[in-house]
């Protein structure tokens, strides 16, 4: 059932705080195995752990939050993650906030590795 799109204004900062609050519980971050994001992550060599770390970091908002036609809040963020292979990778994550009977959770829509610098090891 589609939700009614809210006519009230909600600040982007409030949505970002909601994302950070939800992401504290990694079980509330959904990346479906058959969905676009999971396929893109595999191709672009981005792990779930990297996505979780970025969601819990000081990411920057790339695309401002907006309510989609289903009434869910959607936004795109840019974050930087360090792992054993990379000196640093800029990773862009499209996500939305979905509500269910169990509360709010995040759905990762897509993941893009924007830039990557390899280590000199």
pLDDT at residue number 1 = 47
pTM of the model: 0.82
**One pLDDT digit (tens) per residue for the chain, 121 residues:** 445 545 455 778 899 999 999 999 999 999 987 788 888 889 888 889 999 999 998 899 999 999 999 999 999 999 987 665 655 679 999 999 999 999 999 999 999 988 755 554 4
Of 75, 59, 76, nearest in space to 67 by CA: 75
Domain ranges of the chain: 29-118
Q: Is 11 helix (H, G, I), strand (E, B) or coil?
A: coil
Residue 26 DSSP SS3:
helix
Report the distance separating Cα 104 and Cα 10, nearest Å. Answer: 16
């Amino acid at each position: 059932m589609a939700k009614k799109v809210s006519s009230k204004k909600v600040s982007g900062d409030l949505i970002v705080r909601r994302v950070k609050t939800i992401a504290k519980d990694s079980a509330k971050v959904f990346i479906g195995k058959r969905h676009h994001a999971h396929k893109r992550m595999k191709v672009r060599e981005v792990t779930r752990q990297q996505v979780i770390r970025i969601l819990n970091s000081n990411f920057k908002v790339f695309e401002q939050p907006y309510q989609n036609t289903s009434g869910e809040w959607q936004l795109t963020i840019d974050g930087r993650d360090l792992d054993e292979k990379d000196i640093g990778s800029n990773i862009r994550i499209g996500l939305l906030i979905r509500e269910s009977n169990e509360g709010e959770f995040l759905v990762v829509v897509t993941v893009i590795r924007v830039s990557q610098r390899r280590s000199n090891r």
